[in-house]
Amino acid sequence: MAKDKKTAAQIGVELRDTYGIPSVKLTAGKSVSQILAARKQSPDIPDDMMALIKKALLIRKHNANYRKDNTAKRGLTLTESKIRRLVKYYQRTGRLAKTWAYDPEKMKLLVE
């Protein structure tokens, strides 16, 4: 399933709904993320950070059309702040390279 570019959460949901496995961790002794990491199939960018990046890109697209929406501007600021904090954490733990940086234009190409 990881070869189909599904996230760990999507794999867990599919195993639960289709195959009746309520918890992968109880069945296999490892979480889906740990299994993917052991098989070297985990994504380059962690799932939680990728979700935040997609959210930030959607807010940027909204802001391009509605420039006076201050609530959306604040939401973008908060979302990008979360991304930067996660980048620091993942660089500290070695999950991301020390030179990796969040750039909205590069992320737009990465997500598409």
Q: What is the pLDDT of residues 61-87, one digit of tens each?
A: 999 999 999 999 999 999 999 999 999
Average pLDDT over every residue of 105-112: 87
Q: Are residues 95 and 53 part of one domain?
A: yes
Number of compact structural domains in the chain: 2
Q: What is the pLDDT of residues 12-59, one digit of tens each?
A: 899 899 888 898 888 888 988 888 888 888 888 898 999 999 999 999
Domain of 21, in residue numbers: 2-38
Q: Are residues 61 and 100 part of one domain?
A: yes
pLDDT at 76: 97
Long-range pairs for 54-62: beta carbons < 8 A, 24 or more residues apart: 54/111, 55/79, 56/80, 56/83, 56/104, 56/107, 57/104, 57/107, 57/108, 57/111, 60/104
Predicted TM-score (pTM) of the model is: 0.83
Q: Are residues 52 and 91 part of one domain?
A: yes
Q: Are residues 10 and 62 part of one domain?
A: no
